[in-house]
Structure 1
């Protein structure tokens, strides 16, 4: 992972090599932040955290995902290869490195760079913002349930939301210190989302520890 992090900027390689990873408070998160920047800058594509449920295609090439009115996340983003915004992020990653602040190399970095590149106003209704060739997508696209309300995913809803304005849903696993899980037959929002949008994953999640793994021989049962 460190070798990927070193791709951030050759001129500052010496600084990165001086990092004592065993003493870093948030090294797991920092190395993940570095790796996703380097990989997407080099190859292009879309990055999604593993606790994101995709529900429809994302019709954007170069985009950041807002998790607040003017705050960007780094749990979801997409760019074409060698996009200058990501190169600027990699430079900023090294120049303003501070491991004592959680998110300084992650969502805070994306937010800092977005403010350098763009002068954006507030979102109007459910409309995205655009600056140069970057789209800043409305919080409803990926974060219709905010991090402060993450438990709502594990609740039973009288009427479940349609999420018609969303491309994917972030489950905020980092906030889930209570280790809430998908429970078979619970009828919680998260169970129904997995059942609808991730049927194969759902079957793996609900399989009991003693149940054998069998092949699905019915080609029509996807």
Structure 2
């Protein structure tokens, strides 16, 4: 062995021994620190699309099963279609329109069977409150946020009932996803809607027939999304109760709300500037809900986002004037239903940056719990955001979920 090789060998060993010792020491230090901050029950695991509530193995885990029930795992609003290329050829239009309607409409239940399942569920369970949600995506996409929204309903309404209108969730896969909440004794039914029955004897029936026959231009906006706007109106008109989006976290009991809709924005004088349809509370056969459906059918526009949703309810209520008591309507201020503006929603996902920020967050959490019926997460804007540990949403969700057990709370929580 050459002298130079002897020198390298003799100096390499102590150097790497030192490095190894430092690495081992840092690993041990990290493990000890990390372990001390973990509760024995669970921890939060974050990914690129949302955060995960990782439950202890001894608890029920509601991770999505493998069974996919032949539904492609892709958002319906992302499916390629020719709906934006409306032509005079009604046959080609009809094929594409029928395909989108089939994504939501039942092929297994006729109208009588759909009605029987819903009425039986609501009557047998002695529901103290009737909630409705709509899930238009595949069951594989019913993940943590949607599940937490569902949990928040029962946290505030333990004797309430929830009906999820969904073709994909009324499957073996959907049943497995909902099983943990059902096993805890809460009343939830996923049922594929029969649109013919749901829309029957309402203005929605005329619109559905016209769109099926190609008499109405479905426009560039997802037809599935617009069908969801119409379905929520129809189900409230048929049964009455509360409709909420699957990205709405309920914070308070809704029992003192009746025939109410939330304002998304107000002007400097406190007058509402826009209403929103993410939360609707109405009696069965309410005249205003019927007028909402009339507006949908008579002035449908599939090319402007929100035209058949938030803008629609705003137009109709504005036409009715300010005599809300006459039309049996209560308009809730933004701070009560939409306390977080979609422009600012990202800040509610962030952990505290400094002491001043933390103080503001403490005050905001207290005020939200005291005044708001819930928080709309605006998934269209926040769907890819991570709910960071210690953030406003993290703290709200940790106190309004049922099955989940979040990271051990700090003294400030």
> TM-score, normalization: structure 1?
0.78
**SS state at 2:319 partner:** helix
C-alpha distance in 1 between matches for 2:258 and 2:399: 26
The equivalent residue for 1:48 is: 244
Q: Which position in structure 1 is the counterpart of 2:338?
A: 143
The offset of 1:100, in angstroms, is 0.1
1:21-50 deviation digits (Å, cap 9, x = unpaired): 997432232011011011011000001111
Matched, 1:68 2:265: yes
Partner SS for 1:65:
strand
Query: Which string of whole-angstrom CA distances, capped at 9 and with x for unpartnered residues, describes residues 164-203 of structure 1?
Result: 22111111111125x01335xx211111111111142x44
Name the counterpart of 1:175.
381
- 5 Å matches for 1:102-181? 102-119=305-322, 132-157=327-352, 158-159=358-359, 160=362, 161=364, 162=366, 163=368, 164-176=370-382, 179-181=384-386
RMSD: 2.5
Question: How far did 1:88 drift?
Answer: 0.5
More helix by share: 2
Q: How far is the alpha carbon of 1:85 from its aligned partner?
A: 0.2
Q: Which runs of 5+ in 2 are unaligned?
A: 1-103, 106-194, 267-271, 353-357, 408-413
Q: Distance in 1 between matches of 2:394 and 2:207?
A: 46
Q: Deviations over 1:125-159 (max 9, x none)?
A: xxxx7564100000011111111101012012413
Asked if 1 retains the 8 angstrom alpha-carbon contact of 2:262 and 2:332, the reply is yes
Provide the aligned length of Structure 1 versus Structure 2.
Answer: 193
Q: Is the 8 A contact 1:153 1:171 kept in 2?
A: no
> Residue by residue, what CA displacement relative to the aligned partner does 1:63-120 show, whole Å, maximum 9, x if unpaired?
1111111211000011000000000010110101000001111001100111011237
| 2: CA distance, partners of 1:57 / 1:130 | 23
**Is the Cα–Cα contact under 8 Å of residues 62 and 80 in structure 1 kept in the other structure?**
yes
Contact 1:27–1:99 under 8 Å retained in 2: yes
- Does the 8 Å CA contact 2:206/2:297 hold for their aligned counterparts? no
Map 1:20-99 to 2 at 5 A. Answer: 24-58=220-254, 59-69=256-266, 70=272, 71-99=274-302
Distance in 2 between the 1:74 and 1:53 partners? 15
The verdict on how the C-alpha distance between 1:98 and 1:22 changes in structure 2, with shifts beyond 3 A counting, is closer
Would you say 1:187 and 2:404 are equivalent positions?
no
TM norm structure 2: 0.43
Please report how far the alpha carbon of residue 56 of structure 1 lies from its aligned counterpart in structure 2 after TM superposition: 0.8
Is the alpha carbon distance of 1:62 and 1:22 closer, same or farther for their aligned partners in structure 2, counting shifts above 3 Å? closer
Name which one, 1 or 2, has greater alpha-carbon Rg.
2
Aligned-partner Cα distance in 2 for 1:140–1:40: 24
Contact 1:40 1:79 in 2 (8 A): yes
51-60 or 5-14: bigger deviation: 5-14
